[in-house]
DNA sequence: GCCATTTCTTATCCTACATCAAGGCCTTGC
DNA sequence: GCAAGGCCTTGATGTAGGATAAGAAATGGC
């Protein structure tokens, strides 16, 4: 299964200090899996059993609110991690669902991943700590955005931060990420196109 | 300085496995400090030099946007941690400011805290990992809130989650946290009072 | 290749909250 | 003790984006 090479190169890029043997052990913690478009990996309100590293394709984390509307917390294209970590670590009901936006190849990990990670030495631990910090920073940025910026400004910011995602994702998903209706996004795009 | 006892009991509650000696070493990483009301600990856009554990009083993390409006990311009353971790770890300009909402006693830590933490064994590391996870979860909850709920619903949720804060904080700060103007909060409260 | 479904757009009307303006009530300083 | 400034409220008006409805354009199944 070729796309695994994407994981090897990811490790080399971000954890160059890892010994070949450590890489092997670490890689052994994951289970490869293919997801079809729309296939659900984690169901909101059920205990999550997996998190994922995305080899190819794109996943999303989203909540479905009382009125049935979906709100997207995060997209995870190639080389991103996605999981409800809290649910995994505490075996608590998941706060959100995770599914595949596109047909995807992923590496799954399960709750046992965390204790094993700790045995694998400080470098990996620190790496995951920093990943988590990055997601805090990203979330803060989004929160500030919805608190202070217009939908148009948020859309432009999204395009700038994630140019490839902005092109390949269906607009309705982008709208659900920005926190507006597809109709509003459509209007907004027309405005922008006119200049 | 009496309020330090608050820290000791915090450690006992959350890290009961720590040896007396470890507690002493860990506590030695912090510098006590008093903050007057409104005193600023971290300035947005400057490199942050400190994070804090709050012994008494209350701090807040907030950003000031282009129009001069403040948006509050987090309140930190007694027994909470507050810091721009990314700024501390990477010595990058802070994404937000931190100041004291009330006169406060805090324990400061600096960038050297992180490497020392790693030397102090896995229990503390894991504890901080989980703290970070909790803040991700809290942030996600807020993001969902602003994306999907009305100002009224968010205010009620705030009152329920942080009943003491809801009482002791000035309303304009609560408004800045909820993402609405003080005028809107005032009106909203009148409605709720009429019920 | 054609029907069915989903996705995107457009138009109209509506609502939650912002903005602007002003007044009352505290606090705090001298 | 009173002036000055903050804080909260109230009112009038404005606006970004929502809700609804319906048509156009992709997409996919068979």
Set out the domains of chain A in order of their start, with CATH numbers.
4-113 (2.60.120.10)
CA B49 to chain centre: 16
Phi, psi for residue A143 in degrees, rounded to 5: -60, -50
As a whole number, the mean pLDDT across chain A is 94
Subunit contact A133:B63, Cβ cutoff 8 A: no
Q: Are B32 and B105 in contact (CB under 8 A)?
A: yes
Pairing of strands A58-64, B51-56: unpaired
**Whole-number Å distance between alpha carbons of A15 and B130:** 22
Q: Are A61 and A84 in contact (CB under 8 A)?
A: yes
Alpha-carbon gap, residue B177 to B179, rounded angstroms? 5
Instruction: Residue B84: name the closest of B124, B40, B122 by CA.
Output: B40
pLDDT for A92 beyond 80: yes
Residue in A42, A48, A129 to test binding to B, most B beta-carbons within 10 Å? A129
Q: How far A34 CA sits from the closest chain B CA (Å)?
A: 27
Determine whether the distance from the CB of B184 to the nearest atom of strand C is below 7 Å: yes
Minimal CA separation from A83 to chain B, in Å = 12
Pairing mode of beta strands A51-56, A40-42: unpaired
Q: How far is the CA of A109 from the C1' of D29 (A)?
A: 35
Is the CB of A137 less than 8 angstroms away from the CB of B95?
Answer: yes
Name the DSSP letter for residue B57.
Answer: S
- Which of strand D's nucleotides are less than 7 A from any protein C-beta? 7-12, 16-21
Over range A85-114, report the average pLDDT: 95
Minimal Cβ distance to B133: which of A65, A132, A139: A132
Instruction: Check if the beta carbon of residue B35 is closer than 8 Å to that of residue B41.
Output: yes
Nucleic acid strand C within 7 Å of A187 CB: yes
Write down the pLDDT at residue B5: 87
User: Which of B63, B140, B142 is the closest to A95 by Cβ?
Assistant: B140
Residue B74 forms beta bridges with which residues?
A: B61
Q: What is the pLDDT of residue A129?
A: 94
Helix (DSSP H) and strand (DSSP E) numbers for chain B:
9, 8
Q: How far apart are CA B108 and CA B106, in angstroms?
A: 6
Work out the burial of residue B70: count CB atoms within 10 Å of its CB; fewer than 13 is exposed, 13-18 middle, 19 or more buried: middle
Enclosing H/E stretch for B86: helix B85-90
Residue of B nearest to A94 (CA): B137
- pLDDT reported for residue B4: 80
Minimal-distance CA residue of chain B relative to A74:
B140
Question: What's the distance, CA A154 to chain centroid?
Answer: 19
The pLDDT tens digits of the residues spanning A124-141 come to 999 999 999 999 999 999
pLDDT at B2: 58
Q: Do A143 and B140 touch (CB under 8 A)?
A: no
> Phi/psi at A67 (nearest 5 deg)?
-90, 10
CB of residue B5 closer than 7 A to nucleic acid strand D?
Answer: no
Within 10 angstroms of residue A160's Cβ, the number of other Cβ atoms is 9
Instruction: Answer yes or no: are the C-beta atoms of B64 and B121 closer than 8 Å.
Output: no
Could you identify the residue whose CA is nearest to the C1' atom of nucleotide C20? B183
Strand order, beta sheet including A58-64: A40-42, A97-100, A58-64, A70-77
Element (H, E) at B33: strand B31-35
| Paired strand residues for A58 | A77
Q: What is the mean pLDDT of residues A36-51?
A: 95
Q: Pick the closest to residue A147 from B171, B176, B149 (CA basis).
A: B176
Q: Which of B89, B122, B147 lies nearest to residue A118, judging by beta carbons?
A: B122
Quick: pLDDT tens for B140-165: 999 999 999 999 999 999 999 999 99
Whether B172 CB is under 7 Å from strand D: yes
Q: What is the pLDDT of residue B118?
A: 87
Say if the Cβ atoms of B146 and A179 lie within 8 Å.
yes
Predicted local distance difference test score (pLDDT) of residue A130: 94
| Residue B189: its H or E element | helix B182-194
Could you tell me the pLDDT band of residue A2, with boundaries at 50, 70 and 90?
low
Q: DSSP secondary structure string, B90-159?
A: HTPBPSSEEEESS-EEEEEE-TTHHHHHHHT-HHHHHHHHHHHHHHHHHHHHHHHHHHHS-HHHHHHHHH
* Residue ranges in chain B modelled with pLDDT below 70: 1-2
**Contact of A44 with A95, CB cutoff 8 Å:** yes
Query: What Å value separates CA B62 and C1' D26?
Result: 44
């Amino acid at each position: 299964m070729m796309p695994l090479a994407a994981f090897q190169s990811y490790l080399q890029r971000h954890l160059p200090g890892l010994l070949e043997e450590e890489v092997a052990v670490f890689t052994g913690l994951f289970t490869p899996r293919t997801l079809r478009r729309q296939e659900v990996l984690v169901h909101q309100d059920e205990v999550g059993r997996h998190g994922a590293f995305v080899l190819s394709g794109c996943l999303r984390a989203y909540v479905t609110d009382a009125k049935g509307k979906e709100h997207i917390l995060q997209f995870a294209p190639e080389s991103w991690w996605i999981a409800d970590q809290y649910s995994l670590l505490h075996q608590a009901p998941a706060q959100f669902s995770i599914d595949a936006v596109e047909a995807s190849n992923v590496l799954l990990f399960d709750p046992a991943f965390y204790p094993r990670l700790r045995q694998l030495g400080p470098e990996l631990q620190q790496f995951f700590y920093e990943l988590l910090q990055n997601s805090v920073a990203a979330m803060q940025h989004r929160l500030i955005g919805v608190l202070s910026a217009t939908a148009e400004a948020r859309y432009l910011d999204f395009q700038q931060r994630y140019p490839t995602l902005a092109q390949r994702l269906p607009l309705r998903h982008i709208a659900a990420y920005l926190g507006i209706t597809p109709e509003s996004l459509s209007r907004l795009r027309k405005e922008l196109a006119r200049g």
